[in-house]
Amino acid sequence: MELRTGKADANVLDRSVRRRLGDLMASGSAIGSQALAQDAFRFAMDPVTADTRDTAMLAVTAAVNDLAADGFRPVSLETVILLPPGTGEKVLRDLVDEIRTQAEQLKLRVQGGHTEVTDAVTRPVVIAGAYGMPFPEQCGSIPVRPGMAIVATKWAALEASFLLAREKRAELLARFPLEIVRDLELAGQYLGVIRDAQTALRDGASLLVNASEGGIFAALWELSQKSGLGFSVELSSIPLRQEAIEAFDYYGQNPYEAESAGMLLAVTPDPDRIIADLADAGIRAGVIGYLQEGRDKLILNGDEKRCLERPAPDSAAAILHRA
């Protein structure tokens, strides 16, 4: 059934949204009036406009990751779904099912949202807004200072790997064995950073940065801006999965500048403790560099040394937008 232009009517919302979300729908504020009165919450919002089958999942992931990196535990969710004219109702149902799956996995209540068919968009757009309460552990108890280690969790280019496998599958299978493409798609299971953030905060991290659009290089730039310090990072210490290296080499793009949701950067005076506790939680992590006086952002590659330039456009987007 094709959806009508304009705000989704009550019948569509009932059968394709409310019934599918069921008991995840919050009857009141999932945050609580006391928290609202004390401003003891944080709100993060992220849109996903990419032409992908996983629009809603990626939007929710982006919003809750931003909260976690700021030291807040996500508790509830709102979404805006914009659909182009001619969209079938099944598309809406599939998007809502993605939202439900994420909400169930992350134990989020759904506060509400808005659904509309409009000629202002040419493909489905999902905007996810997440509310969070402070983790018991908070950043900043130990001030950021030169010499602190930069710990990175998981791998760079995780979300980019997942998107390539989902959206460029035929191209990749024409070049690589099925196992490589499957491994790229499996990166999708590592995109959240809530446990990464909570563990790092509990172990005294002074600053967290969520690596997302623009990849690890953009995240390092943000880390320097937030800390007011420079850094020295060894390129070979930045973890990359082999299948990501091969796929980005095939497309002639830089994996260090590719969407890296799932990787969290933590600045800490005690990297061994954080790395050990993350390992106990099943999360790989390692030191990739150190903060230093000044504002020089140094990337070391063997005997070569260069300054990191301002973040470039996301390299995965360049691949996905190719005809």
Mapped onto helix, strand or coil, the DSSP state of residue 308 is coil
Is 141 within the bounds of a domain?
no
pLDDT for 25 equals: 54
What is the CATH classification number for the domain harbouring 74? Answer: 3.30.1330.10
**Which structure tokens are listed for 118?**
């409009």
Is residue 93 pLDDT above 60, yes or no?
A: yes
pLDDT for 311 equals: 86
Q: What band does 52 get if pLDDT is binned at 50, 70 and 90?
A: confident
* 59-87: average pLDDT: 94
**Of 85, 103, 134, the domain-final residue:** 134
* 151-162: average pLDDT: 97
Is 14 within the bounds of a domain?
yes
127 and 157, same domain (yes or no): no
Range of the domain at 315: 149-320
**Of 70, 101, 134, the domain-final residue:** 134
pLDDT in tens, 183-223: 999 999 999 999 999 999 999 999 999 999 999 999 999 99
313 and 171, same domain (yes or no): yes
Closest CA to 50 of 157, 166, 130: 166
**Contact criterion met (CB below 8 Å) for 151 and 199:** no
Sheet holding 304-307, edge to edge: 207-211, 263-268, 149-153, 285-292, 230-234, 297-301, 304-307
Is residue 300 pLDDT above 80, yes or no?
A: yes
pLDDT for 37 equals: 43
**Contact criterion met (CB below 8 Å) for 296 and 227:** no
125 and 157, same domain (yes or no): no
219 and 308, same domain (yes or no): yes
25 and 120, same domain (yes or no): yes
34 and 172, same domain (yes or no): no
What is d(CA 73, CA 131) in angstroms, rounded to the nearest whole number?
8
82 and 109, same domain (yes or no): yes
**Structural domain count of the chain:** 2
**Mean pLDDT score of the chain:** 89
34 and 157, same domain (yes or no): no
Residue 272 identity (one-letter amino acid): D
Residue 174, burial from CB neighbour count under 10 angstroms (0-12, 13-18, 19+) = exposed
183 and 303, same domain (yes or no): yes
Say whether pTM exceeds 0.85: yes
**Of 74, 102, 134, the domain-final residue:** 134
161 and 278, same domain (yes or no): yes
Is 155 within the bounds of a domain?
yes
